[in-house]
């Protein structure tokens, strides 16, 4: 059975490249949300196998979205992978404290994004 992944990112281009990558390379089912609030709602409705979450978004940012997901029993156990263009060590330590499964970096390689996710979640 194909994995179901929720991508939450406010940037259309990143969202569409990630969708293309995960659908065409891994054959996964991809659902998308363009804001943290929309993502929290989609996660509760669709119960994806994992969430790929942008860090910097207007309104509800990535860390706040993680807290919202963790505070809802329906979404609390869904693995979250942060996607960020922040490369500084201080940012990475702050993100690691959120208790997410992995931090992936932009720009990502569309050919290997799904294997990065699989590797981080032990899906291989």
Partner 1 sequence: MDSQAQPGAQSEALSQALDRLWVRFLPEIMERVAIIEATAAAMAAAKSSQSERENAEAAAHKLAGILGTFNLMRGTALARDLEGSFKAEDDRVNGEYIASLVARLRELIQSRKSSS
* Stretch 40-59 residues interacting with partner 1 (CB under 8 A): 56
Q: How far apart are the first and last CA of the chain?
A: 14
Site membership for partner 1, residue 27 (CB under 8 A): yes
Binds partner 1 (CB under 8 A): choice among 5, 6, 28, 68: 28
Q: Whole-angstrom Cα distance, residue 18 to residue 34? A: 13
Min CB(73)–partner 1 separation in Å: 29
CA distance 13 to 10: 9
5 forms beta bridges with: 30, 50
- Under the criterion CB under 8 A, does residue 12 sit at the interface with partner 1? yes
Find the shortest distance in angstroms from Cβ 71 to partner 1.
28
86 in Cβ contact with 61 (< 8 Å): no
Q: How far is the CB of 100 from partner 1 (least distance, A)?
A: 18
Copy the structure tokens of residue 57. Answer: 């978004």
Contacting residues toward partner 1, per CB under 8 A: 2-3, 11-14, 16-17, 20-21, 24-28, 56, 85, 87, 106-111, 114-115, 118
């Amino acid at each position: 059975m194909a994995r179901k992944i929720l991508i939450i990112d406010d940037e259309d281009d990143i969202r569409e490249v990630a969708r293309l990558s995960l659908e065409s390379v891994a054959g996964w089912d991809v659902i998308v949300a363009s804001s943290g609030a929309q993502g929290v709602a989609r996660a509760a409705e669709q119960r994806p196998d994992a969430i790929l979450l942008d860090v910097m978004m207007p309104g509800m940012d990535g860390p706040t979205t993680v807290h919202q997901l963790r505070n809802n029993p329906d979404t609390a156990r869904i693995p979250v992978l942060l996607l960020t263009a922040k490369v500084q060590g201080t940012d990475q330590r702050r993100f690691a404290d959120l208790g997410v499964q992995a931090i992936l970096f932009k720009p990502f390689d569309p050919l290997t994004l799904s294997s990065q996710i699989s590797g981080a979640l032990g899906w291989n």
